[in-house]
Every structure is written in structure tokens, then in C-alpha cells.
Amino acid sequence: MYTEQKDNRLKPLKIHCPELEISTEPAVLESHGCDWTRFRTPDATAVVFPHNSDEVAKLVVLARAHQIPLVPSGGRTGLSGGAIADAGEVVVSFDRMRRIIGFNPVDRTLTVEPGVVTQAIQDYANQQNLYYPVSFASEGSSQIGGNIATNAGGIRVLRYGLTRDQVVGLKVIDGRGELIECNSGLVKNASGYDLRHLFIGSEGTLGLIVEATLRLTDPPQPSRVMLLAVSSLDGMMTVFRQFNDAMNLTAFEFLSGAAMSYVRSGHDLPAPMDTETPYYALLEFDCPDTDTEDLALQRFEFCLEDGSVLDGVISQSEAQAADLWRYREGISEAITKYTPYKNDLSVRISEIPGYLRDLDELAQSRYPDFEVLWYGHFGDGNLHMNILKPADMPVEEFESVCGRVNPDVFELTREHNGSISAEHGIGLLKQAYLSYSRSEQDIERMRGIKAVFDPANILNPGKLLG
């Protein structure tokens, strides 16, 4: 974007919000103008660092008056381009709003500012002998505001639900600069529309989260982790049913043999077992006593006998459990250098084998020259399809080739009544495909809601609804 246009956006901020911390340092513009996706070049006008909700409100009022587009930015670990500023936007970073505001031991709630890192929330909960259950590989740098704005999921959704299920109170500055307080930490509240749930997952297009109250829960029981070599997709479903019926699962993840190879070479991990298979299942379940462990081993034997499982290992200590998790949690980082094109798909659990078979066939015929890796959260129906960029192909060409196949991938997803985004969000990169998951009427309804909260369209324009 031209410098003159950027100046027109910057000047009003400097004149009317002199107290606001503003950076135009090239390194800051670059680091804060993008997320973990590598398909756009950041081009932000400035990055602002409000210190409190009053500053956020003042900023939004000014942005509305001067038509300054704002891009909210947390830990920037998103995978759909929701936090990208590539059109001269002003990035609103919550790096200076990292206070833990208060813990209520009776209500078992924790109130925080949006910039608090997810792992800091987990750690704080642990110190209180409680548990914040939302967990994923980027929890060490992602921020709670971004988790809420994208309704982050991760590995324990099948037991504890999504970020949405943990939020009992929310304060938001909407696109008119008004503070909206939602639900005040209540367990029950039947007083009409629950606006909290509109903001959760709205990807920063309706309001900027300035405070959240989270529900904490009982710490988990002692658990075990199993990594199983599974012979086929139908076998995976057998394993899921066997263990889901018998055990209290906290996670049921899967990875393809190719994903296993990449995570091993990327992190220099040893072979987890002698047998190599097209799929692996990683399970975590409550295991408070030896009877429960015997039950798990019985189910394992059953799966071995019926051929769905060919081999497996079970953790005997927390350190071993953590080692086994690395085969699943380390994949994303291990493949980053291949600039993966990510499709984050979901179907009902019962649909997974048929859907994945169809998708794999499609991928093999339409991407004959690309390597496609599968992994994901089998236990909640979420499949991550990662297409790796050949080293000699320019990023633009790679994105465009993947984009040409997307309609077929998403049409198939629609036929299986699935969603084109399970947990990464629509953001910028999937915006053009929203209609594969939402009807025209739904999109119009969403636009109507957007107009109520952000009439000047200054909050994350171009994302989600376009």
C-alpha cells in the first residue's frame, strides 16, 4: 500500500491517541502482520499496543471515524490467515494486556486479559489444583484472546469441549467502541440471546476481546497414553469404538504413516515400535488403577486378534507419555519448512473412514506430484489434510494449484455433511470457500449481525465474511 495512504491512517492515531503505544518499526510490522501461514506478505501501517480496555475503546472510536481497518493480533499462531495484515491495516496487539485479573476459588473461575498465553492459564490452574483443559501444540505462545476469537480446539475436545465451553464471561469492545459485557461468569443465565457465543469464534470481526472469565475444572486422573499401529481406516474405527466404549478417553488422535516419517525425521525421533503401518492411533485415557489398565490391555488384545491393530506401546510413566505425544504434537512444526497448504476439515466421527477414503483418492488423482499428509483429532471428527510444497515450486504457484483442487475437496466435504474448517477458522485463506459450509442465507444473516456490531466494517475486514 502507498505510503501516503498509510500516513492518512497513522496521523489521526498519533494526533488523537498520543498516549497509545505505536510501532512502525519494519521488524515489528513484519512479525505482527502475519500468523503461522506463509501465503501472504505482511504490509501493515502500524502495530498498536493498548494497555487497557479504555485505550482499546478509544482506538476503535477513532478507527471508525477515520475508516482505519484494524486487525486484532494475539500469539499469531493461527493457521488460516485470520491475523494477517497485508493491506495497510493497523494491527492491534494484546501483548501489553497480559494480566491475570483474579481467581475465584468458589466459582472456580479465572479472569484474565486477552494477551495471557494459553500455557500460563494452564499453569495458573495447576497451581490452584485445578485444570484448564484446552490444549494444543502452540499453547506456549498462543494467547487466550485469539483462542476465544477462533474458538480453539486441540487434542482434548472429545472430553472437555472447545474453548467456547470454558468461557463463562466476556468483555468485548465492539466496532462502535462500546463495551459489551457478556454473562458475568454465571453458570445459568436464561435472559435471552447469549451474545458471548456470537463473539466466540467470530475471528475478531465483531469485537475485540478485552477480558475473559474461564471455567476451571478438576485435575485429570492419572492417565496412560497408547500409540497403536493400525492396519486400515476401518481398523481405526474399530479401535476407536473398542476404547471409547470401555475407557474414559481424554484424546484419540491419528496420523498417517507419512506423517509419522516426517515427525520422526523432523525431530530425530526413534521408531516407536518395529511395525510400520499406514495409520497410527494415539490414545490417552484415565487409568487410576490396575483394573483399568487390564481393561485397556484386553481391548488392545481384541484389536490385535481381529487384525485392526498390528503393534502398540503403552506409557509406563509421565515421561514416556510425553515422549509418545511428540509423535503427534511435533508434526505441525516438523513440516513447517515444507510450507504446507492446510485444509482443516471435519465430519461426524462415523463418517470419517468413508470420507477419508474418498478424499485420499481425490488427493492422489488431483495432486499426483504432491505429498499429502493426514493427521488430526479422530475422536472429534477433525482431519488435517496437509499438502507439502515441492522445494522448487514458488509459493504463489503452489497456492494457486491447491486452490484449484479445493472446490473438489470442499464439495466432497459438503456431500459428507462436513465443515471446511473444524478449528483453524475461515480467516483470509478460506474466505472464498465459505459457501461450501454455510448457505447463502446463513452468510446474509452473518452479515446482518456484523452490521449491528461493526457498522463501519473496520474490524478485521476481508476475513471470514470477506
Q: Which residues bind ligand MLT (CB under 6 A)?
A: 79, 136-137, 331-332, 342, 384
- What does the alpha-carbon distance between residue 43 and residue 32 come to, in Å, rounded to a whole number? 10
Q: Which helix (H) or strand (E) holds 375?
A: strand 371-377
Least distance between ligand MLT and beta carbon 464 (Å): 18
Least distance between ligand MLT and beta carbon 212 (Å): 21
Least distance between ligand MLT and beta carbon 234 (Å): 23
Residue number, nearest CB to ligand MLT? 332
Residues 6 or more apart whose CB falls under 8 angstroms from that of 419 comprise 345, 346, 347, 413, 437
Q: Report the residue number, 64 or 384, with the smaller CB distance to ligand MLT.
A: 384
Least distance between ligand MLT and beta carbon 339 (Å): 12
Q: Which of 32, 13, 107, 122 is nearest to 77 (CA)?
A: 32
Least distance between ligand MLT and beta carbon 342 (Å): 6
Least distance between ligand MLT and beta carbon 332 (Å): 3
β-sheet bridge partners, residue 174: 207
Least distance between ligand MLT and beta carbon 189 (Å): 31
Q: Report the residue number, 182 or 255, with the smaller CB distance to ligand MLT.
A: 255
Q: Report the residue number, 139 or 211, with the smaller CB distance to ligand MLT.
A: 139
Q: E strands within 122-166?
A: none
- What does the alpha-carbon distance between residue 62 and residue 55 come to, in Å, rounded to a whole number? 11
- What does the alpha-carbon distance between residue 24 and residue 10 come to, in Å, rounded to a whole number? 9
CA distances from residue 285 to 246, 357, 396, 453 in whole angstroms, order as listed: 10, 27, 43, 42
Least distance between ligand MLT and beta carbon 301 (Å): 30
Least distance between ligand MLT and beta carbon 262 (Å): 11
Q: Report the residue number, 375 or 410, with the smaller CB distance to ligand MLT.
A: 375
Least distance between ligand MLT and beta carbon 267 (Å): 14
Residues 6 or more apart whose CB falls under 8 angstroms from that of 39 comprise 81, 339, 341, 395, 399, 429
- CB of 52 within 8 A of CB of 114? no
Q: Report the residue number, 40 or 342, with the smaller CB distance to ligand MLT.
A: 342
- What does the alpha-carbon distance between residue 418 and residue 426 come to, in Å, rounded to a whole number? 14
- CB of 415 within 8 A of CB of 354? no
Least distance between ligand MLT and beta carbon 326 (Å): 12
- What does the alpha-carbon distance between residue 131 and residue 14 come to, in Å, rounded to a whole number? 43
Q: Which three cell numbers stand for residue 127?
A: 497451581
Q: Report the residue number, 138 or 308, with the smaller CB distance to ligand MLT.
A: 138
Pairing of β 382-388 and β 371-377: antiparallel
Residues 6 or more apart whose CB falls under 8 angstroms from that of 256 comprise 278, 279, 280, 373, 374, 375
Q: Report the residue number, 64 or 342, with the smaller CB distance to ligand MLT.
A: 342
Q: Which three cell numbers stand for residue 23?
A: 510501532
Q: Report the residue number, 311 or 333, with the smaller CB distance to ligand MLT.
A: 333
Residue 220, SS3? coil
Q: Report the residue number, 122 or 213, with the smaller CB distance to ligand MLT.
A: 122
Q: Report the residue number, 236 or 331, with the smaller CB distance to ligand MLT.
A: 331
Q: Which three cell numbers stand for residue 396?
A: 504463489
Q: Report the residue number, 342 or 389, with the smaller CB distance to ligand MLT.
A: 342
- What does the alpha-carbon distance between residue 176 and residue 454 come to, in Å, rounded to a whole number? 6
Residue 226, SS3? strand
CB burial of residue 449 (10 Å; 0-12, 13-18, 19+): middle
Q: Which helix (H) or strand (E) holds 372?
A: strand 371-377
- CB of 169 within 8 A of CB of 182? yes
Q: Which of 357, 315, 289, 132 is nearest to 227 (CA)?
A: 315
Least distance between ligand MLT and beta carbon 377 (Å): 6
